């Protein structure tokens, strides 16, 4: 096993359970050869700090797996971690209302670089580095013990740019129906486990969707920007929205949104689904003097369309300014970002700035972070990437 030495300035971080090993935290990282190899990290005096594995991912060169010198990284280790993760989600496993959730959340469950989602008996593993992929047999065996899935799918998210590798994602057991119907708080979603990088639903917004259905939609006009498969629109419609308008630039969003409405018994023709750049839609809506009672904003952290580059870190404030124009007096903006480079403090700063520049008063009604199944490591703040605020617009 490789023996790495921590730089003096990073010893404290490791002692505080920081799970990511970054290149500039280590004196002799050049010794690492093969992704997946194990190493121990010590301080200058040889004092043990942790055991980890080598993996190139974003800023990191590996993840700490154990802080006990005598702990072996073997099949038993993986069994224990995945079993603990499954036990932590036992109420979700037993739920009849929700059959899709995150079963294993990387460093939050003790193994950085891998997540596992559970969809009505089928599991989807996301591998974020070549390094973690070398442990695939151990992790799949552990998963079979802990969750007894009918079938397993995977997404390799580690090409040169750290992105998804297109291939057949089915790896074990029985193939899932196509589409696979799952439930979230009693609402159906059509999920496609073997159709590219995304499956049709982002599980981390479960509590936000529930809030939209239960507290923000009844009798309201709802605009869902960056709507993808229309998940927020479906919850709004089921919550009694007078009408929903879903806007997304991707062509796939039209058939996908029709499907999500239809499987929930909602007449999609009574809703509006618009395939268009949201920035164009803002202009159109301004011309027509349209306003909405609830506007949902859930942009990607970064996106390039024909005319626009949107980066949450740079452009969210302006996105909010345009949204304030479209929001009815007394209405609500549900503003969400998953950009890990934007802290909640910074995000609230954008909100404040946007309202100041528009000379409009506001009040934050409630806020959301990741739900409990997206377990995070307390020492790794970047892992808690989701920030959502429901903002009352007081024009």
278 touches ligand SAH (CB under 6 A): yes
Part in contact with ligand SAH (CB under 6 A); list of ranges 61-69, 165-173, 302-310, 316-324: 302-310
Q: Which is nearer to ligand SAH, 250 or 394 (CB)?
A: 250
119 touches ligand SAH (CB under 6 A): no
Count of residues touching ligand SAH (by CB under 6 A): 22
CB of 132 to ligand SAH, least distance (A): 25
Q: Which is nearer to ligand SAH, 99 or 129 (CB)?
A: 99
Q: Which of 173, 179, 300, 349 binds ligand SAH (CB under 6 A)?
A: 300
Part in contact with ligand SAH (CB under 6 A); list of ranges 54-62, 94-102, 172-180, 274-282: 274-282
**Residues in contact with ligand SAH, shown as a per-residue x/- string from 194 to 233 under the rule CB under 6 A:** --------x--x--------------------xxxx-xx-
Part in contact with ligand SAH (CB under 6 A); list of ranges 16-24, 301-309, 313-321, 374-382: 301-309
Pairing of strands 272-275, 243-248: parallel
Distance CA 389, CA 277 (A): 23
Output the 3-class SS for the chain. Answer: CEEEEECHHHHHHHHCCCCEEEHHHECCHHHCCCCCCEEEEECCCCCEEEEEEEEEECCEEEEEEECCCCCCCCHHHHHHHHHHHHHHCHHHHCCCCCCEEEEEEHHHHCCCCEEEEEECCEEEEEECCHHHHCCHHHHHHHHHHHHCCCEEEEEECCCCCCCCCCCCCEEEECCCCCCEEEEECCEEEEECCCCCCCCCCCHHHHHHHHHHHHHHCCCCEEEEECCCCCHHHHHHHHCCCCEEEEEECCCCHHHHHHHHHHHCCCCHHHCEEEECCHHHHHHHHHHCCCCEEEEEECCCCEEECCCCEEEHHHHHHHHHHHHHHHEEEEEEEEEEECCCCCCHHHHHHHHHHHHHHHCCEEEEEEEECCCCCCCCCCCCHHHCCCEEEEEEEEC
Q: Which of 249, 319, 320, 332 binds ligand SAH (CB under 6 A)?
A: 249
Part in contact with ligand SAH (CB under 6 A); list of ranges 87-95, 255-263, 298-306, 320-328: 298-306
259 touches ligand SAH (CB under 6 A): no
In 10 A of CB 130, how many CB atoms? Answer: 17
Q: Which of 165, 197, 250, 394 binds ligand SAH (CB under 6 A)?
A: 250
Q: Which of 298, 333, 347, 362 binds ligand SAH (CB under 6 A)?
A: 298
Part in contact with ligand SAH (CB under 6 A); list of ranges 110-118, 146-154, 246-254, 353-361: 246-254
Q: Which is nearer to ligand SAH, 18 or 101 (CB)?
A: 101
308 touches ligand SAH (CB under 6 A): yes
49 touches ligand SAH (CB under 6 A): no
Q: How far is CA 300 from CA 7, 312, 322, in A?
A: 36, 7, 17
Helix (H) or strand (E) segment spanning residue 278: helix 278-287
CB of 73 to ligand SAH, least distance (A): 36
326 touches ligand SAH (CB under 6 A): no
CB of 233 to ligand SAH, least distance (A): 9
Residues that bind ligand SAH (CB under 6 A): 202, 205, 226-229, 231-232, 247-250, 253, 277-279, 298, 300, 303, 305, 308, 310
């Amino acid at each position: 096993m490789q023996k790495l030495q921590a730089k003096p300035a990073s010893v404290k971080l490791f002692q505080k359970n920081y799970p990511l090993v970054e290149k500039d935290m280590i004196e002799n990282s050049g010794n690492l050869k093969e992704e997946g190899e194990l190493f121990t990290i010590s301080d200058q005096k040889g004092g043990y700090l942790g055991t980890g594995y080598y993996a190139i991912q974003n800023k990191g060169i590996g993840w700490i797996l154990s802080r006990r010198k005598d702990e072996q990284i073997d099949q038993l280790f993986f069994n224990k971690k995945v079993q603990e993760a499954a036990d932590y989600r036992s109420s979700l496993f037993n739920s009849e209302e929700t059959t899709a959730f995150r079963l294993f959340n990387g460093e939050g469950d003790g193994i950085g670089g891998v997540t596992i989602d559970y969809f009505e008996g089928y599991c989807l593993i996301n591998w974020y580095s070549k390094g973690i992929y070398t442990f695939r047999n151990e992790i799949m065996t552990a998963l079979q013990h802990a969750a007894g899935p009918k079938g397993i799918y995977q997404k390799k998210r580690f090409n040169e740019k750290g992105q998804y590798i297109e291939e057949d994602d089915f790896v074990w057991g029985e193939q899932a129906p196509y589409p696979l119907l799952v439930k979230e708080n009693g609402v159906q979603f059509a999920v496609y486990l073997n159709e590219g990088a995304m499956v049709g639903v982002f599980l981390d917004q479960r509590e936000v969707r529930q809030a939209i259905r239960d507290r923000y939609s009844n009798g309201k006009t709802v605009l869902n920007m960056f709507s993808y498969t229309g998940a927020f629109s479906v919850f709004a419609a089921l919550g009694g929205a007078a009408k929903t308008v879903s806007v997304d630039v991707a062509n796939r969003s039209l058939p996908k949104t029709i499907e999500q409405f239809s499987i929930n018994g909602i007449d999609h023709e009574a809703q509006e689904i618009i395939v268009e750049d949201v920035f164009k839609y803002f202009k159109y809506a301004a011309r027509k003097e349209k306003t909405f009672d609830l506007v949902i904003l859930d942009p990607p952290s970064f996106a390039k369309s024909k005319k626009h580059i949107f980066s949450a870190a740079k452009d969210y404030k302006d996105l909010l300014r345009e949204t304030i124009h479209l929001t009815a007096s007394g209405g609500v903006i549900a503003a969400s970002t998953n950009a890990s480079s934007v802290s909640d403090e910074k995000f609230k700063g954008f909100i404040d700035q946007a309202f100041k520049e528009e000379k409009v008063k506001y009040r934050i009604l409630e806020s959301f972070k990741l739900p409990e199944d997206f377990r995070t490591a307390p020492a790794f703040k970047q892992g808690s990437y989701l920030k959502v605020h429901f903002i009352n617009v007081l024009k």
